């Protein structure tokens, strides 16, 4: 039902023939979910540029439109008089799209997909997703800023921290539950906000809602979801808790409306994204959008900045780059929800946040999708906590981190340092894209299994037992760039051979 909010497709009064006449920049009609819309005047304002709409001028655009727009988008942004009404879809010529060789190969890969049980850890889901997802969807989810150094650093940073486990602690009964903003959760992670869930699964973010419910963890609803906010709230079950991630709109009235609506609908925390005054350049994403017909060498330079820039750029033009510390009191005034700043990256700003009276921060670099060579959340945590403790401020605020969490050992390291919990995003998207809800379920269960096991092995029976002395963080804030190699000497070196190689050499 989510997938087709239109009415009976056989009874609309508009015909395909009529719509097909409006196929130009001068008069541009499109069909979405069995209804027609006049988008002529909207063309220049489309965040993704007019070109992509004009490709569907006079035609059915639903397939392209659906994964990247919540279903209520047209109601919200297109004046009612441009809603032309239902279309008799029988009269609309169906384009018979031939399957591309690439797509055929992908379908083959899907047939030979590994069983879900063959996934033993969160990286496995990523591997499978890369294998079966459509390329642009994979590119949107998996891409990072510039050279993707920060994106990868987020994960590898955890390996700079080593354990100092305690032995001979009674760990028969291990309790991995904890509290986040007052909510009891089964394990110290939450599903962090990620955009465009329908690129990975036709149902979109509600799949994550269901997974979060099953494992009693919190879901953070993204501003840029493919499902509408209300759809995602509607999907919650029982006393399931959700938070809202917020990109602040240039029009503060819209922002206010969103925040107060969320509070009214029971959302328990407001996470204001502060690391994205502009959404990042992600070249992997941009490349998959590259249109190799119609461009030419002449048409270059500054005038094409906003075109063909990948999904990220298309969906984010409303974000307000002037948002500043001055705005925080206003947010505190419009809602009773706890307010947290998502994307804090230096201790000075954590101290400012405490002064401001917000309730928490997420140390995050936006999954490595914004500023490249920005430091990982876990590294910033190692910078922040000793200073907070020194000043007695460690309990004034809740500190979360996200980015690169793949193993329960990663979660444990963050908790030892002093985090209240960690956000996990892409891994659940990949699990959902490859296997749907069962994938999300298994991914979460694997984390729980790993967590119980590793709590035992580090000698902690409950989350509060995780303390900084259980870590060796001497290298946590170091960065080792390997020096360029001496190619000629490396090539001249004749490596040692093994007995098997000796044998093969003889055959």
Contacts with a copy of itself in 82-141 (CB under 8 A)? Answer: 112-121, 123-124, 126-128, 130-131, 138
Answer for which of 325, 329, 391, 464 binds a copy of itself (CB under 8 A) is: 325
What Rg value do the Cα atoms of the chain yield, rounded? 25
- Cβ(441)–Cβ(213) below 8 Å: no
Q: Say if CB 218 and CB 241 are below 8 A apart.
A: yes
Q: Which is nearer to a copy of itself, 99 or 147 (CB)?
A: 147
Query: Which stretch, 7-15, 196-204, 220-228, 367-375, contacts a copy of itself (CB under 8 A)?
Result: 367-375
Q: CA–CA distance from 155 to each of 100, 233, 368, 424, 426 (Å)?
A: 35, 31, 10, 12, 12
Describe the crossing of helices 377-390 and 408-417 by its angle, rounded to 10 degrees: 20
How far apart (Å, rounded) are the C-alpha atoms in residues 362 and 420? 10
* Minimum separation from the CB atom of position 323 to a copy of itself (A): 6
Q: Provide, rounded to whole angstroms, the least separation between the CB of residue 274 and a copy of itself.
A: 4
Q: Does 13 bind a copy of itself (CB under 8 A)?
A: no
Return the residue of 94, 98, 305, 395 that touches a copy of itself, per CB under 8 A: 305
362 is an interface residue for a copy of itself by CB under 8 A: no
Residues 376-395 that bind a copy of itself (CB under 8 A): none
Chosen residue from 327, 338, 386, 393 binding a copy of itself by CB under 8 A: 327
Q: Which token pair is 63?
A: 């397939």
- Any contact of residue 321 with a copy of itself (CB under 8 A)? yes
Min CB(94)–a copy of itself separation in Å: 28
First to last CA, the chain: 65
Applying CB under 8 A, does 467 fall inside the site for a copy of itself? no
- Kindly tell me which of 28 and 157 has the beta carbon lying closer to a copy of itself: 157
Q: Which of 18, 175, 230, 320 binds a copy of itself (CB under 8 A)?
A: 320
Q: Which two tokens stand for residue 100?
A: 């591309």
CB of 160: closest distance to a copy of itself in angstroms? 5
Burial label for 451, CB within 10 Å (0-12, 13-18, 19+), is buried
Collect all residues with Cβ–Cβ distance below 8 Å to 490 and sequence separation of at least 6. Answer: none
Binding positions for a copy of itself, 278-297, rule CB under 8 A: 278, 280-281, 283-284, 286-287, 290, 292, 295-297
* Among the residue ranges 1-9, 198-206, 277-285, 417-425, the one whose residues contact a copy of itself (CB under 8 A): 277-285
| Least Cβ distance, residue 261 to a copy of itself (angstroms) | 24
CA atoms of 48 and 292, how far apart (whole Å): 17
DSSP notation for 161-176: -EE----S---SS-B-
Which among 1-9, 69-77, 220-228, 485-493 is the span making contact with a copy of itself, rule CB under 8 A?
485-493
- CB of 234 vs a copy of itself, minimal distance in Å: 24
- Residue 401 · residue 411 · CB < 8 Å: no
For the bound state, the minimum distance from the C-beta of residue 45 to a copy of itself, rounded and expressed in Å, comes to: 19
Backbone angles phi, psi at 33, to 5 degrees: 50, 50
Both structure tokens of 105: 């190969």
Give yes or no for residue 492 binding a copy of itself (CB under 8 A): yes
For a copy of itself (CB under 8 A), the number of binding residues is 137
**155 lies in the site for a copy of itself, by CB under 8 A:** yes
Residue carrying structure tokens 């700079």: 160
Judge whether 70 and 227 are in contact, CB under 8 Å. yes
**CA 279 from centre of chain:** 13
- Determine if residue 204 is left, alpha or beta; phi over 0 gives left, psi from -120 to 50 gives alpha, anything else beta: left
* Residues 199-238, mask of contacts with a copy of itself (x by CB under 8 A): ---------------x------------------------
Q: Rule CB under 8 A: say whether 351 interacts with a copy of itself.
A: no
Catalytic annotation, residues: 247, 275, 366
Whole-number Å distance between alpha carbons of 169 and 300? 66
- Interacting residue with a copy of itself among 33, 59, 69, 160 (CB under 8 A): 160
Q: How many residues does the chain have?
A: 507
**Out of 29, 409, 432, 447, the residue judged to bind a copy of itself by CB under 8 A:** 409
Q: Is 162 in the site for a copy of itself (CB under 8 A)?
A: yes
To the nearest whole angstrom, how small is the minimum distance from the Cβ of residue 145 to a copy of itself? 8
CB 409 within 8 A of CB 174: no
Interface with a copy of itself includes 316 (CB under 8 A)? no
- At its nearest, how many Å lie between a copy of itself and the CB of residue 218? 19
264 versus 474: smaller Cβ distance to a copy of itself: 474
CA distance 437 to 123: 17
443 neighbors 431 (Cβ within 8 angstroms): yes
Q: Which 422-461 positions form the footprint of a copy of itself (CB under 8 A)?
A: 435, 438, 441-442, 445, 448-450, 453-454, 456-458
The structure tokens 């015909």 sit at 15
459 sits in which H/E element: none
**Do residues 191 and 217 lie in contact, with contact meaning Cβ atoms separated by under 8 Å?**
yes
Q: How far is the CB of 425 from a copy of itself (least distance, A)?
A: 15
What are 442's strand-pairing partners?
A: none
Q: Kindly tell me which of 228 and 309 has the beta carbon lying closer to a copy of itself.
A: 309
Q: Which residues pair with 423 in a beta bridge?
A: 190, 402
Scanning 43-51, 54-62, 82-90, 302-310 for contacts with a copy of itself by CB under 8 A, the matching segment is: 302-310
Closer CB to a copy of itself, 90 or 147, in the complex = 147
């Amino acid at each position: 039902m989510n997938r087709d909010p239109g009415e009976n497709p056989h009874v609309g009064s508009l015909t395909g023939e009529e719509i097909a006449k409006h196929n130009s920049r001068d008069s541009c009609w499109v069909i979405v979910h069995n209804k027609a819309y006049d988008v002529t005047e909207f063309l220049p304002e489309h965040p993704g540029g007019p070109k992509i709409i004009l490709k569907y001028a006079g035609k059915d655009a639903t397939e392209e439109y659906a994964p990247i727009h919540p279903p209520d988008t047209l109601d919200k942004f297109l004046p009612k008089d441009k809603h032309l009404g239902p279309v008799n879809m029988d009269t609309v010529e169906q384009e018979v799209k031939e399957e591309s060789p690439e797509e055929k190969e992908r379908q083959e890969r899907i047939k030979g997909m590994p069983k879900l049980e063959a996934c033993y850890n969160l990286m496995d889901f990523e591997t499978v997703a890369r294998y079966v997802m459509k390329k642009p969807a994979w590119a949107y989810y998996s891409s990072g800023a510039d050279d993707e150094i920060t994106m990868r650093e987020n994960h590898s940073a955890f390996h700079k921290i080593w354990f100092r486990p305690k032995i001979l602690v009674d760990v028969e009964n291990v309790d991995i539950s904890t509290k986040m903003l007052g909510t009891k959760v089964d394990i110290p992670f939450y599903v962090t906000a990620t955009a465009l869930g329908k690129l990975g699964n036709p149902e979109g973010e509600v799949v994550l809602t269901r997974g979060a419910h099953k494992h009693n963890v919190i879901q953070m609803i993204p501003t840029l979801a493919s499902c509408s906010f209300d759809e995602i709230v509607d999907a919650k079950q029982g006393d399931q808790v959700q938070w809202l991630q917020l990109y602040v709109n240039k029009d503060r009235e819209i922002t206010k409306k969103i925040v107060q609506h969320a509070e009214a609908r029971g959302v328990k925390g407001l996470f204001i994204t502060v690391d994205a005054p502009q959404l990042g350049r992600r070249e992997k994403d941009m490349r998959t959008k590259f249109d190799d017909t119609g461009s030419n060498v002449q048409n270059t330079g500054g005038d094409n900045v906003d075109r063909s820039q990948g999904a990220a750029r298309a969906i984010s033009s409303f974000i307000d780059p002037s948002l500043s510390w001055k705005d925080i009191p206003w947010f505190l005034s419009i809602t009773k929800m706890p307010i947290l700043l998502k994307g804090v990256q230096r201790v000075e700003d954590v101290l400012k946040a405490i002064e401001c009276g917000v309730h928490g921060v997420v140390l995050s670099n936006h999954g490595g999708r914004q500023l490249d060579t920005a430091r990982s959340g876990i590294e910033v945590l190692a910078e922040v906590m000793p200073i907070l403790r020194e000043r007695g401020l460690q309990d004034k605020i809740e500190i979360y981190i996200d980015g690169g969490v793949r193993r329960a050992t990663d979660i444990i390291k963050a908790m030892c340092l002093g985090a209240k919990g960690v956000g996990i995003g892409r891994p659940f998207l990949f699990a959902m894209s490859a296997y749907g809800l069962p994938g999300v379920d298994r991914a979460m269960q694997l984390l729980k299994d790993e967590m119980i096991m590793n709590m035992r092995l580090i000698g902690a029976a409950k989350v509060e037992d995780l303390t900084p002395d259980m870590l060796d963080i001497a290298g946590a804030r170091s960065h080792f760039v390997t020096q360029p190699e001496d190619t000629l000497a490396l090539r001249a070196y004749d490596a040692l051979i093994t007995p098997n190689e000796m044998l093969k050499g003889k055959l």
